Amino acid sequence: MSESKFGSDDGLEIDIDTLIRENAQAVADYELQDSDESNNQDLQDRQALRRVNGLSTELQDVSDAEYRQLRLEKVVLVGVWTEGTSKDADNSLKELAALAETAGSQVMDALIQRRDKPDPATFIGSGKVTEVRQAVVATGADTVICDGELSPAQLRTLEQKVKVKVVDRTALILDIFAQHAKSREGKAQVELAQMSYMLPRLRGWGESLSRQSGGTGGIGGRGPGETKIETDRRRINDKMSKLRREIKEMKISRDIKRNERRKNNIPSVAIAGYTNAGKSSLLNRLTGADVLVENALFATLDPTVRKTQSHDGRVYTFVDTVGFVRHLPHQLVEAFKSTLEEVSQSDLIVHVVDGSHPDPMEQIRAVRQVINEIGGGEILEIIAINKADIAAPEVLMELLRTESSAYAISARTGYGVPTLVKAIESALPKPNVEINAVIPFSRGDLVSAVHETGEIISEEYLPEGTKIHAMVGGALARKIELL
């Protein structure tokens, strides 16, 4: 391989000069194309709804997921920087800001503290708490968002000290999911995740309930408030079991469809990756699907499956699904198990990476961690480094150098997409049974199936039928043998 070319096996290389040239052109086209997206009705609906559903500190009816109050929030972000460089810490807080904005909040201020580990009582050190309180007063903020998952006690103590609502990163992500869930399945999954987040925290919220009902917890903690918490807890548990059952039932029809595809040897390619990397844009570019594309985190929650055809006529599917993030709340991974199966049960993963992100390697690591967690660690992976039109060429080159099967693309301009498609097609599982048969003309369905899922070696029309020599999947081979 020459010095200026990077790329993977089979001669699919990238010429850096061309890339830089196309880069400049793409940036020029960039603004023009941006306006197309506003045609999307979904997007308009969503922008009209740019208000935040804050997790209300006062649980009205815990059996109903609508316990959150709708209000526009002004937030102060707080991070604890325990390891890595200061750039890592900044990136983390920038991501928290993007999450907060996606949830509809306005970020007023952001504070970060370096310490070995978060303070067990207040997350940030007590000295910093005063500073946070000052920032809250100075900016008129009504919420503090902490960059981590806080214990119920930490949330409560911090809330008392800063005197406004305190929310952690997990609650924020759950909130975005709640706002973006559209399908019945998606809504049920989010609700389940929210409840499993709420359950251990009930005591914290329960305090205000016990105050409401005039109780103080009483001796031995069995005041009226405590009783209410116990009823709440039971109701939440009941609701969670019901949701789990419902999700299981809803999953059945997708399982049937997936098994059908598998039986027919239709390979599935999962488009996975960090949130906002451009997965939906890539699906749209590859299949002409009309999936919502938005510069927001977790725009997509429901999987979209689209059929397509390889250059040699084989049918396969692409599926676009929910994006990943660093420290994806485990409640979400758990609740979205059935959705995430679209990735863990696929034949090939196209891992989309945002090449214009300041630290794409960190995103790659986070995505692989989730893929491993859901049992997809062994699946063949192709990296699609997206947004090549706005990415720094040196970042692209570095990624292409370190990743063995990586391609620079732009879902927006189409750059590199044909090369990526070639790589995908050559990585699709190959039909492995050789057939050499004459199929009667009355079984045209089998001939088309061989064309759609197999690889034709030769084909000839004889008076008694179509003589086909081909490689096909086991199930189809059996059907043909039984003729």
Ligand X SMILES: Nc1nc2c(ncn2[C@@H]2O[C@H](COP(=O)(O)OP(=O)(O)OP(=O)(O)O)[C@@H](O)[C@H]2O)c(=O)[nH]1
Kindly state whether residue 412 participates in binding ligand X, applying the rule CB under 6 A: yes
The amino acid present at 7, given as its one-letter code, is G
x-marked contacts with ligand X along 257-296 as a string, rule CB under 6 A: ----------------x-xxxxxxx-----------xxxx
* Of positions 300, 308, 344, 453, contacts Mg ion by CB under 5 A: 300
Q: How far is the CB of 102 from ligand X (least distance, A)?
A: 8
Q: Which does 141 bind (CB under 5 to 8 A by kind): ligand X, Mg ion, none?
A: none
- What's the CA gap between 384 and 10, in Å, rounded? 16
Kindly state whether residue 300 participates in binding ligand X, applying the rule CB under 6 A: yes
Nearest-CB residue to Mg ion?
Answer: 300
As a three-state string, the secondary structure of 277-328 is CCHHHHHHHHHCCCCCCCCCCCCCCCCEEEEEECCCCCEEEEEECCCECCCC
- Indicate the SS3 state at residue 26: helix
- What's the CA gap between 375 and 361, in Å, rounded? 21
- What's the CA gap between 337 and 125, in Å, rounded? 37
Q: Angle of helix 393-402 relative to helix 360-373, nearest 10 degrees?
A: 40
Encoding tokens for residue 319?
């599926």
Nearer to ligand X (CB atom), residue 33 or residue 126: 33
Q: Which does 275 bind (CB under 5 to 8 A by kind): ligand X, Mg ion, none?
A: ligand X
Nearer to ligand X (CB atom), residue 123 or residue 298: 298
**Closest to 62 (Cα-Cα) out of 225, 248, 305, 231:** 231
391: left (phi over 0), alpha (psi -120 to 50) or beta: beta
Kindly state whether residue 19 participates in binding ligand X, applying the rule CB under 6 A: no
Kindly state whether residue 342 participates in binding ligand X, applying the rule CB under 6 A: no
- Count of residues of this chain found to bind ligand X when the rule CB under 6 A is applied: 25
Encoding tokens for residue 50?
């740019």
Kindly state whether residue 417 participates in binding ligand X, applying the rule CB under 6 A: no
Nearer to ligand X (CB atom), residue 26 or residue 476: 26
Q: How far is the CB of 386 from ligand X (least distance, A)?
A: 5
Nearer to Mg ion (CB atom), residue 177 or residue 197: 177
* Of positions 363, 410, 453, 466, contacts ligand X by CB under 6 A: 410
Q: Which does 297 bind (CB under 5 to 8 A by kind): ligand X, Mg ion, none?
A: ligand X
Q: What angle do CA 253, 175, 183 make, to 5 degrees?
A: 20
Please give the residue ranges that form the binding site for ligand X (CB under 6 A).
Answer: 30, 273, 275-281, 293-300, 323, 386-387, 389-390, 410-412
Please give the residue ranges that form the binding site for Mg ion (CB under 5 A).
Answer: 279-280, 299-300
